[in-house]
Amino acid sequence: MDEKELFVKAYKAMALSRALDRKIVMSQRQGRVGFYTPTIGQEALQIGLSMTLEKEDIIYEYYRDVPFMLHRGVPPAAIIDQVMGNSSDSEKGRQMPSHYSSKEFHFMSVQSPVAANLPPATGAAYEIKYRKKKNIVVATFGDGSTSTPDFHAAMNMAAVYDLPLVFLCENNRWAISLPIEKQTRVEIWKKAEAYGMRGIKVDGNDLFAMYEAAKKEVETVRKERKPVLIEAVSYRIGPHSTSDDPNKYRTAEITDGSEKDPLIIAEKGMIERNYLTKEEIEKIKTDSKETIDRIFDEREKIPAPKPESIFTDVYEKPNWIIEEEKGEIL
C-alpha cells in the first residue's frame, strides 16, 4: 500500500467509526441499546497506531477501541452484535456493551476492571520473546489507568524482561469526572522513566502526527525488542458513558474539546495532501452513515442467545454443580 492508500483507508475507518459511534449513542437514547462508552475524539490516535501494525500483532485493547478494531478489519456487525449481546455475538451476550473481543483480528476480550489487561499483555509479549517470534503486542488504556496497580506491575515487568510491547496511553484527559491534573503530578510519558523505559508524547488528535510517531516507535520496538510508552494526547469529547452527565463536573469554562476534533483535522490533512477531495470526503461520510444504518437495523433483528447459553464456558466442560443449577433454573 502506498501512503495515499494507507491514509485513505485510515480516514475511511475514522469516518465509519464516527458514524457507528453516533448511531449507537442515538440508539441508546432511544432505548435500543443498554449502555455504551462513546469513542468520539480517540479515532486518530488509535488508527494512527493501527496503521503501523501487522496482522500477527496482538492487541490487549480497552473499551474505547472501536476505531482501532474497525481499522484492523473487525466488521461493524461484530461490534453491533456485542453491543446488542445477541445470539451472533461471539461473547454470547455475556458482557456489557463496549467489552469487545475478536479472536480473528487478535483483539483480546475486554474486561471492565480498568488496566487489568496490562499484566496479561506482558505475558503475551513474553511468549513472543520466548518463541523468538517477530510480532509485537500493543496494550491500550486511558489516562486514569496509570494510577492503577496493574499499570505499575506491567510497566516494570515489560522493562525488566525486555518485552516487545507498545503501551498506548489514550490520554483523553478525564477518568470519568477526574481531570488528569488531579490524577497525577506529572505528564504520563514521563512515567516511563521510572521503569527505565522509553516514553514519548504525541498529539493524538492529529492522524498524521500520530502515524509518524507510532511508525517510528513500533519500528524501534520491532527491532530492539524493548517496550515503549506512547502518550497520545486527546480529549474526551463525549460523556464517559451513556450513563454519565459531564455537566456535573465539566463547568462552563471547560470545553468539550470538539475544537480539536480529530476527524476535522484529518479531513484538512487529507485535502492538503491531495489524498481526498472535499466531495470524496462527503461521500465517504454519507456512505458510512448508510452502511452503519443498514447493518445496525439488520443486526437489531437478531434474537437474544438461548437461556441455556449462560451455563456454558465457565469451564471447558460444565461441572455437576453448574449442571444441577441449570436444571433448577430452566
Partner 1 sequence: MSSKQLNMVQAINSTLDLLMAENDSIILLGEDIGKDGGVFRVTEGLQAKFGSERVMDTPLVELGIVGMAIGMALSGLRPVPEIQFQDFIYTAFDQLVNQAAKMRYRSGGEYHVPMVLRTPYGGGIRGGLYHSQSGEAYFAHTAGLTVLSPSNPYDAKGLLISAMKYNDPVMFLEPKRLYRSIKSEVPDEKYSIPIGKASMVHEGNDMTFITYGSMVPTVMNTVTKHSIDADVIDLRTIMPYDGETILNSVKKTGKAIIVHEAPRTLGMGAEISAFLSERAVEYLSAPILRVCGPDIPFPYRLEEYYLPNEERILKAINRIQEFR
Q: Which residues are catalytic?
A: 236, 240, 249
182 binding a copy of itself? (CB under 8 A): yes
* Site string (102-141) toward partner 1, x via CB under 8 A: -x----xx-xxxx-x-xxxxxxxxxxx-x-----------
CA-based nearest residue to 172, from 226, 114, 99, 231: 231
262 binding ligand TPP? (CB under 6 A): no
Unique residue bearing C-alpha cell 437489531: 300
Q: Which of 148, 265, 289, 302 binds partner 1 (CB under 8 A)?
A: 148
CA-based nearest residue to 137, from 245, 223, 253, 59: 59
Residues in 17-76 that interact with a copy of itself by CB under 8 A: none
Tell me whether strands 165-171 and 137-142 are parallel, antiparallel or unpaired.
Answer: parallel
**Distance, CA of 218 to CA of 167 (rounded, Å):** 11
153 binding partner 1? (CB under 8 A): yes
Write out the three cell numbers for 293. Answer: 444504518
* Cβ neighbours around 329 below 10 Å, total: 10
Given the complex with partner 1, which of 162 and 287 has the nearer CB atom?
162
Q: Which stretch in 53-61, 72-80, 106-114, 219-227 sits in contact with ligand TPP by CB under 6 A? A: 106-114
Q: If DSSP codes are grouped into helix, strand and coil, which group holds residue 246?
A: helix
Enumerate binding residues for Mg ion (CB under 5 A). Answer: 142-144, 172, 174-175
Interacting partner of 172 out of partner 1, Mg ion, a copy of itself, none (Cβ under 5 to 8 A depending on kind): Mg ion
Per-residue CA distances from 71 to 10, 16, 145, 196, 254 (Å): 7, 9, 24, 32, 31
Per-residue CA distances from 295 to 76, 284, 299, 301 (Å): 8, 16, 6, 10
Burial (Cβ within 10 Å: 0-12, 13-18, ≥19) of residue 272: exposed
Minimum Å gap between C-beta 129 and a copy of itself is 16
Minimum Å gap between C-beta 253 and partner 1 is 14
Interacting partner of 64 out of a copy of itself, Mg ion, ligand TPP, none (Cβ under 5 to 8 A depending on kind): ligand TPP
183 binding a copy of itself? (CB under 8 A): yes
Unique residue bearing C-alpha cell 443486526: 299
Minimum Å gap between C-beta 145 and partner 1 is 7
| Type of residue at 113 | P
**Distance, CA of 241 to CA of 226 (rounded, Å):** 34
Q: Which stretch in 174-182, 190-198, 275-283, 298-306 sits in contact with ligand TPP by CB under 6 A? A: 174-182
186 binding a copy of itself? (CB under 8 A): yes
197 binding a copy of itself? (CB under 8 A): yes
**Distance, CA of 210 to CA of 203 (rounded, Å):** 6
Minimum Å gap between C-beta 217 and ligand TPP is 21
233 binding ligand TPP? (CB under 6 A): no
Q: Which residues bind a copy of itself (CB under 8 A)?
A: 147, 149-153, 156, 159-160, 182-186, 190-191, 193-197
